[in-house]
Chain A
Amino acid sequence: MSIAEVLPLEIIDKTVGQPVWVMLTSHREFAGTLVGYDDFVNVVLEDVIEYDHDQEIKRHAGKMLLSGNNISMLVPGGKRL
């Protein structure tokens, strides 16, 4: 088995402490600072803006645990506006 150059979880690990943009399977998205994650890629975020269909829904000042159940993509660097 050949070894891939970049491991996905390594990228996520390097994003800890930095802005991240999390997309769910639905049209919902979350942009915030990545505090941490676990083996299921449940994700803890801070200072989050929640979007649906690209419309801002809600701002969350503190920390948030986002269930990994419906996360389809993570984009290091945060949401591009």
Chain B
Amino acid sequence: MSSSGESTTTASAQFLSNIIGQSVVVKLHNGMLYQGVLESIDGFMNIALNQATEHYETASNGLLHRYDGDVFVRGTQVLYISEA
């Protein structure tokens, strides 16, 4: 049932380990969009961002808030995490 022969790690786990420390965008189910540096992420998709900005739906929709420190995002609310 695994997707590819060459590795036992899943595509999602591989992606997550590759993007730590990079700039990412995270969207929640309610449409809030967070852009920042990915500090860490776990298997539940709990996410810690640094220097995040908050927008609604897209970054072109005006800055709602700027977080100078860390932002923790609960995994259950995460719709996607994407390379910025």
**Are A and B in direct contact (Cβ within 8 Å)?**
yes
Q: Which residues of A contact B (CB under 8 A)?
A: 9, 13, 16, 24, 28, 30, 35-39, 42-44, 48, 52, 57-58, 60-67, 69-70
- A69 to B21, alpha carbons, bound, how many Å? 25
Within 8 A of A (CB), among B1-56: 1, 3-4, 10-16, 19, 25, 29, 45
Known pairs A37-B12, A58-B58, A60-B82; list 18 more (Cβ under 8 Å): A30-B80, A35-B15, A36-B12, A37-B3, A38-B10, A38-B13, A39-B10, A42-B12, A60-B25, A63-B83, A64-B83, A65-B12, A65-B82, A67-B45, A67-B79, A69-B76, A70-B29, A70-B79
Name B residues whose Cβ lies closer than 8 Å to a Cβ of A: 1, 3-4, 10-16, 19, 25, 29, 45, 57-58, 76, 78-84
Main secondary structure of the interface of A (DSSP, over half): strand
Interface SS of chain B = mixed
Q: Is the CB of B29 within 8 A of A48?
A: no
